[in-house]
Amino acid sequence: MLIKSLVLKKQFLTTVQESVNLEEALQILEDTGFRCVPILDETGTIFRGNIYKMHIYRHKSRGGDMSLPVTYLLKNATKTIPINSPFFKVFFNIKDLPYIAVLDEEHRFYGILTHTKLLNMLSEAWNINTGSYVLTVISSGQSGELAEMAGIISREANIAGCLTLDARKTALVRRNLFTLKAGISPAKLQHIVDNLEANNYRVAEIDDLQKGSILDELPKI
């Protein structure tokens, strides 16, 4: 399962038990440097929510009782995903959270999926280490277009990755990002662009993964 491979497991995390008070929780946050940590029950298996350093400091600055249980300032109690969740659902749940709690098949706390892990995984889709150029190709979204564009490109180069943006039903056009493997000469790249545009697929942008945008620098052949 993709989610499981990205999760930071419970045994490697800093957590607090629901029985600790706010002063103790703040000390843990200060010692570790984290801005928030998960709150678990006394057995260490049930996720109660998160405690944020900023909320404790706000409470303290207003003269709040620091001997209150950490659950007094508990947040994100319902922000969890099952470990077998479809990957796309993560994006609808994690949003502005630093991480989202992951529960196992028995609804026990398994670990967390962080924004950093998620972004690192997405960055791998660009194949920065093995890719050369990313072509942004505009299409209308009609059936068969993706296969046709891929066919045109693959006659000249190996495709390392593909991503389609603007895939909404209401979108008038779609942006299709094709990452090409390394070893493509500028002349061959221009030939790919010419073939795509000859088939009414406009190449809106070409990004060199090592340098930047190069669309205006290609030789015309």
- CATH code for position 193: 3.30.70.260
Q: Residue 28 sits in a domain of what CATH number? A: 3.10.580.10
Segment-wise mean pLDDT, segments of 10 residues, the chain, 221 residues: 84 96 98 97 97 98 98 96 84 85 96 88 67 90 93 94 76 87 90 96 90 56 42
Cα(171)–Cα(151) distance, integer angstroms: 24
Are residue 155 and residue 199 in the same domain, yes or no? yes
Structural domains in the chain (count): 2
Torsion of CA 70, 76, 77, 82, to 10 degrees: -130
In this structure, are 86 and 132 located in the same domain? no
Q: Quick one: 153 and 173 in the same domain? A: yes
pLDDT of residue 77: 96
CB-neighbour burial class of residue 193 (10 A; exposed 0-12, middle 13-18, buried 19+): buried
| Type and span of the H or E element at 160 | strand 159-165
Instruction: Specify whether 37 is located in the same domain as 116.
Output: yes
Asked if residue 150 and residue 66 are part of one domain, the reply reads no
CB atoms within 10 A of CB 137: 27
Same domain, 36 and 68: yes
Q: Are residues 133 and 117 in the same domain?
A: no
Rg (CA), the chain: 24
**Domain shared by 92 and 135, yes or no:** no
pLDDT for 127: 64
Which of 103, 121, 139 represents a domain boundary (last residue)?
121
pLDDT at residue 161 in the model: 86
How high is the pLDDT of residue 221? 42
160 & 201 share domain:
yes
Task: Name the domain boundary from 102, 121, 140.
Answer: 121
Domain that holds residue 189: 125-217
Tell me, yes or no, whether 113 and 6 share the same domain.
yes
Q: Which of 121, 149, 165 is the last residue of a domain?
A: 121
Q: Are 111 and 64 in a shared domain?
A: yes
Are 70 and 148 in the same domain?
no
